[in-house]
Amino acid sequence: MQLLDRTLDDPRANLALDEALLEEAEQQGSHAELLRLWEFQQPVVVVGRSSRLADEIHLAACQQDQVAVLVIERAGERMQVTGDDRFFGR
């Protein structure tokens, strides 16, 4: 098993790298095992597109505490991470 211990500066970039690694493995038909370790450098809420943000997340508290809210959307086989930059302030 290969170990990749790498944290990028932006939470969106970390999620995007995970997606890119998965896509590359699927395209190559690779059965090699890879364990990626990383951690958020700041508090972050990650939700799926089907989540009802107003019902599931206290957005005012996230904004007050400068907690990033990222929404993962899938378009076909591609992943897109969106977020409201108002929640990035640390």
Greatest pairwise CA separation for the chain in angstroms: 45
Spatial distance between the Cα atoms of 18 and 70, rounded to a whole number of angstroms: 15
> What are the residues facing 79 on neighbouring strands?
74
Predicted local confidence at residue 77, as pLDDT: 54
Q: Distance between CA atoms of 33 and 22, rounded to whole angstroms? A: 11
**Closest to 38 in 3D by CA, of 7, 61, 17, 67:** 7
Please write the tens of the pLDDT for every residue from 43-90: 888 887 777 877 888 888 988 998 888 887 766 555 555 555 444 433
**pLDDT digit string, tens, across residues 5-48:** 999 988 888 888 988 898 888 888 878 888 999 988 888 888 87
Q: Which two tokens stand for residue 6?
A: 């790498």
Taking the C-alpha atoms of residue 34 and residue 43, their distance in angstroms, rounded to an integer, is 25
Instruction: Supply the pTM of this predicted model.
Output: 0.69
